[in-house]
Structure 1
Amino acid sequence: MEIAGEDGSKRRELSEFGSLFLADLSVRKGRSAATLKSYESDFLIFETYLDSRGLEYSSVSRQNIDEYLQYLLKDHDPYSARRALSALRGLFRFLVRSGRISADPVYLVKPPRTSSRLPKALSEREVLELLESVSDGSPLALRDRSMLELLYGSGLRVSELCSLRTEAFLDHPNLLLVTGKGSKQRFVPLSKEALSATERYVLQGRRSLLAGKPDSGFLFLNKSGTPLTRQGAWLTLKGRASAVGLGSVFTPHTLRHSCATHMVDHGADLRVVQELLGHADLSTTQIYTKVSMTKMIAIHRQFHPRSQVLE
């Protein structure tokens, strides 16, 4: 079955098996709406793949899963493929446990290998170029500028951005109430530029996008006046980055990484950055010190008169 997508196009509806698993995650494990949406997106891609090869859940083999991972790796990085495999592992385990299929084809599948890479951050000049490129004053441009400013200025995840509600912005001057992983809430400061851009969007752009339609209360809307999805936000941001030549290095977390890296570069305390990003463990935040160390080594090698001796 097909249903209308965010842009008015048609997309398939999640199968009964996928829907039952999401309901189980919601009721039994209390997963957040953002997590469920992420799983749904992964399952829709998988089910579209199954359809294209005439497969049903009951007939999927380990070889089919291996081939699916190779299919994903053509257009996705290993981290995305690993996440998709993790989602499928949970789904097939549920289907076996509930007696809907007899064998788990994912059980022995090994995840794609990944490198212990450092997060990619844009330079401060690249961030400024990206932000200033979105300035035509249209409702969608006002929305996109607000999103970009918030992602960079407050270090938000794209999923956190899409879950923001208008009261999170309007009720707390200079602060934003964010719901992060595990439904944990935190306040993050608003930069002057993010505050100004979001005020313009709320007062002008959002009203225009809503245009008499029922108000869901979510801060960011698509062109139809309904809540902007994580996938819709990502495609929009990727398009904006591509327009200034940054598409090849831009990921959903690029501006979040850039925010943290630039703060550490300018001397911010790691625990402050940890709280801003909503990291439960300081060790997760410490990766940004490695980013800064990499930059320091590169600068040292370029400018120190005895750098060749140290190499």
Structure 2
Amino acid sequence: MTWPQALRQFQGYLQLEKSLSPNSVEAYVRDATKLHQFLVGEGVPARPEQVTTRLLRDFLNTLTGLGLGATSQARTLSGLKAFFSFMIMEDLIRLDPTDTLEAPKTGRHLPDALSYPEIETLLGAIDLSTDEGLRTRAVLEVLYSSGLRVSELCELKLSNIAAEQGFMKVLGKGNKERLVPVGREALKQLNFYLRGVRGHLDIKPGAEDHAFLSQRGRPLSRITVFTTLKKLAEQAGLRKTISPHTLRHSFATHLIEGGADLRAVQEMLGHASITTTEIYTHLDRDYLRQVITEFHPRS
């Protein structure tokens, strides 16, 4: 099988059988494509079924030499494992060449989070006299109130918002649906946007059910949310690097610090494993350690 054939079939497998999101499909196919490009560059005429563990080690060592971080290397290896798992399933190979490869240790880093006063500072910097400002306020309130990923926010549907019940249905990673609560303030700002801004847009076909739209009536893009938040942070004088994910981290951190049950936070964030959510308990311990250091008379 040629590489173009293998990559096309791999993409179809991820889309149809694994039902992965477009972003995940693109990332996995890109990982396999990088391997192919490496083999071509090295002058190795290996077809997909001829790739050996040694070749894969050479490829990963090359990524290290190029300065690719441990996290990026681990993610690339994950994509390659998916590719060769697909090859085995299609009976193209019998042994998985990635079996003996171990991902580099990435360590567990604490995610950035804003304090509640910083959240208020960020919200206070929004110019609510403009249509864009009303949309930005609604976007930030929903992100912080419900801990959504930016892709989940951009794909949020009006038909999935149950305002009276205070819940939204969200389509997360792996096309998994979950119900997340949304606060009164977020619902109020969302209503201001829907009535005062969105209701006056020329909505393009296919975007009728999307909650957040661009000024041209198309679904709001992730890039727009990123750039808007970056500019707002600069205007607010916040020196931290802030992204939509920062608000998701802040949502989880403030819940844990307030004593929320870890399982409940896991459910709201849409984490498949409780281990992913447990990282926020480390933030809470750091906070408690700081309190003891500052205020305990014997510390």
Deviations along 1:143-187, whole A, 9 cap, x unmatched? 332222112111122232222111112665522112233433332
2:25 maps to 1:39 = yes
1:128 is paired with a residue of what secondary structure?
helix
Deviations along 1:161-220, whole A, 9 cap, x unmatched? 222111112665522112233433332222122112211222233345x42422422222
Identity, in percent, stands at: 36
Q: Which residues of 2 match residues 42-121 of structure 1 at below 5 A?
A: 43=29, 62=56, 63-68=58-63, 71=66, 73=68, 78-91=70-83, 94=86, 110-121=102-113
- The aligned amino acid for 2:177 is Q
2:15 maps to 1:23 = no
- Contact 2:73–2:104 (CA under 8 A) maintained in structure 1: yes
Which of 211, 216, 225 in structure 1 is aligned with 2:217? 225
Counterpart of 1:250 in structure 2 is 242
Which of 194, 209, 213 in structure 1 is aligned with 2:204? 213
Query: Structure 2 vs 1, CA of residues 272 and 183 (structure 1 numbering), >3 Å: closer, same or farther?
Result: same
CA distance, structure 2, for counterparts of residue 244 and residue 54 of structure 1: 49
1:111 is paired with a residue of what secondary structure?
coil
CA distance, structure 2, for counterparts of residue 118 and residue 221 of structure 1: 33
2:197 is paired with a residue of what secondary structure?
helix
Query: Structure 2 vs 1, CA of residues 171 and 21 (structure 1 numbering), >3 Å: closer, same or farther?
Result: farther
CA distance, structure 1, for counterparts of residue 27 and residue 197 of structure 2: 28
1:260 is paired with a residue of what secondary structure?
helix
| 1:120, distance to aligned residue in structure 2 (A) | 2.5
Q: Which residues of 2 match residues 111-150 of structure 1 at below 5 A?
A: 111-150=103-142
Q: Which residues of 2 match residues 146-295 of structure 1 at below 5 A?
A: 146-169=138-161, 173-207=165-199, 210-216=201-207, 217-230=209-222, 232-244=224-236, 246=238, 248-295=240-287
Query: Structure 2 vs 1, CA of residues 71 and 49 (structure 1 numbering), >3 Å: closer, same or farther?
Result: farther
Counterpart of 1:6 in structure 2 is none
CA distance, structure 2, for counterparts of residue 52 and residue 138 of structure 1: 50
- Contact 2:143–2:244 (CA under 8 A) maintained in structure 1: no
Mind listing any 5+ residue stretches in structure 2 that lack a counterpart? none
CA distance, structure 1, for counterparts of residue 196 and residue 296 of structure 2: 51
Query: Structure 2 vs 1, CA of residues 257 and 42 (structure 1 numbering), >3 Å: closer, same or farther?
Result: same
- Contact 1:129–1:244 (CA under 8 A) maintained in structure 2: yes
What TM-score do you get using the length of structure 1 for normalisation? 0.71
Deviations along 1:225-267, whole A, 9 cap, x unmatched? 3323445544543444455455754355321221121122223
CA distance, structure 1, for counterparts of residue 193 and residue 35 of structure 2: 38
CA distance, structure 2, for counterparts of residue 261 and residue 128 of structure 1: 16
2:74 is paired with a residue of what secondary structure?
helix
CA distance, structure 1, for counterparts of residue 121 and residue 205 of structure 2: 36
| 1:272, distance to aligned residue in structure 2 (A) | 3.2
1:253 is paired with a residue of what secondary structure?
helix
1:178 is paired with a residue of what secondary structure?
strand
| 1:94, distance to aligned residue in structure 2 (A) | 4.1
The structure number with the bigger radius of gyration is 2
CA distance, structure 2, for counterparts of residue 16 and residue 246 of structure 1: 49
- The aligned amino acid for 1:214 is P
- Measured on the aligned residues, the alpha-carbon RMSD in Å equals 4.0
- Contact 1:65–1:109 (CA under 8 A) maintained in structure 2: no
CA distance, structure 1, for counterparts of residue 251 and residue 187 of structure 2: 16
CA distance, structure 1, for counterparts of residue 65 and residue 235 of structure 2: 29
Mind listing any 5+ residue stretches in structure 1 that lack a counterpart? 1-14
CA distance, structure 2, for counterparts of residue 65 and residue 174 of structure 1: 47
